[in-house]
Amino acid sequence: MNERLAGKDFFDPNHLPLCVFRMPYVEWGRGLHSHSFNELMIVIGGVAIHHMDGEHVTVSMGDVFSIPPGHAHGYDVEDNSGVQVLNVLFDLDRMKMKLMDLVLIPGFHALFTMMPGHNDPHLKLAARDLAVVTGLVEEIEAEMEGLEPGYEFLCEAKFREMIVFLSRRYSHVSTSAGKDMLRLGELITYMEKHLGDNLCFENLAEVANMSPTSLRRTFSEILGVSPMTYLQQLRVKKSMQLLVDPMRAISDIAFSVGFNDSGYFSRVFKKEAGCSPKEFREDLGKSDR
């Protein structure tokens, strides 16, 4: 059985889509479940078997990984395992945070923007680092219980601090799967910084320091698409942000994100977004009225 958990069961639609969830021990063996939001799993004690996407791995104190929406996962726990997990539930899309230079940290992509094709604790925190993260989570939890004016602003600030802290710590991963994720994270960071450049597949393989065959295979296994398809998706996502400015010509936006042909840009945009750039801009204008 794969139970589907919805954001409406955890988040108030009028408030910050973020919460801390401590699952009761009696619910650990309830089977696989998935959700429409993101989950950050932080193991603070004990041992458990975590299942995700048909694979399983033993997790213990200090293991941290992000579970994207739609991925079925669950736990097996022995009676005397003493397992303790902090679950930070959040909807990254609904939060609409301006990521700014966060996208320049390879570990951010490895932890939060990639869709993992394997079940591996992507980050193992030392005791001191685990204390920092759990402290931030507990502060968020306390603010959400107190509900004093300003709590949402403060919770988002602490959440941002936690994301940056974890993303930076990812540079110290030691597992082979984690290193592959980090290498691709570094490549995605390069893509983000050079969206307007005339990048080709050979450029990307050179930046990743991988053979074309190895890059194509690893990228597809972890992200489910080719490197060039992912690059197109990043370009479309960036163009969506730029289309907010009604004074900027669509052809100029296309050129700035790496498309030399505005007609080709429109076709790619429609494939990814379901509408043309012009229609997307018009819809933005309607929503502002």
pLDDT interval class at 29 (50, 70, 90)? low
Asked whether the beta carbons of 18 and 89 are under 8 A apart, the reply is yes
Lowest mean pLDDT of 37-51, 71-85, 266-280, name the range: 71-85
Angle between helices 227-242 and 262-273 (to 10 degrees): 100
Q: Is 288 exposed, middle or buried (0-12, 13-18, 19+ CB in 10 A)?
A: exposed
How far is 121 from 249, CA to CA, in rounded Å?
45
Spatial CA neighbour of 175 closest among 123, 227, 223: 123
pTM: 0.69
Report how far apart the first and last C-alpha atoms of the chain are (Å, whole number).
44
- pLDDT tens figures, 187-196: 888 888 888 9
**Cα–chain-centroid distance for residue 263?**
31
Section 127-147 average pLDDT: 91
DSSP 248-288: S-HHHHHHHTT-S-HHHHHHHHHHHHSS-HHHHHHHHHHHT
CATH number for the domain running over 194-287:
1.10.10.60
pLDDT at residue 165, as a whole number: 92
CATH topology of domain 2-172: Jelly Rolls (2.60.120)
d(CA 201, CA 5): 39
Hey, what amino acid is at 143?
Answer: E
Give the tokens for residue 7: 């954001």
- Give the pLDDT confidence score for residue 189 in this predicted structure: 85
- Fold match, 2-172 / 194-287: no
pLDDT of residue 140: 95
| Domain assignments of the chain as residue spans, ordered by start | 2-172, 194-287
* Residue 52 and residue 16 in contact, taking contact as beta carbons nearer than 8 Å: no
Contact, 40 vs 88, CB < 8 A?
A: yes
174: amino acid identity, one letter: S
* Angle of helix 201-208 versus helix 212-223 axis, rounded to 10: 90
C-alpha R_g of the chain? 20
pLDDT for the residue numbered 62: 86
Determine the Cα–Cα distance for residues 181 and 111; give it in Å rounded to an integer: 8
> CA–CA separation, 224 vs 217, rounded Å?
10
Q: CA 282, 275, 281: angle at the middle one, nearest 5?
A: 20
Banded model confidence at residue 117, pLDDT cuts 50, 70, 90: very low
The angle subtended at Cα 185 by Cα 99 and Cα 22, nearest 5°, is 65
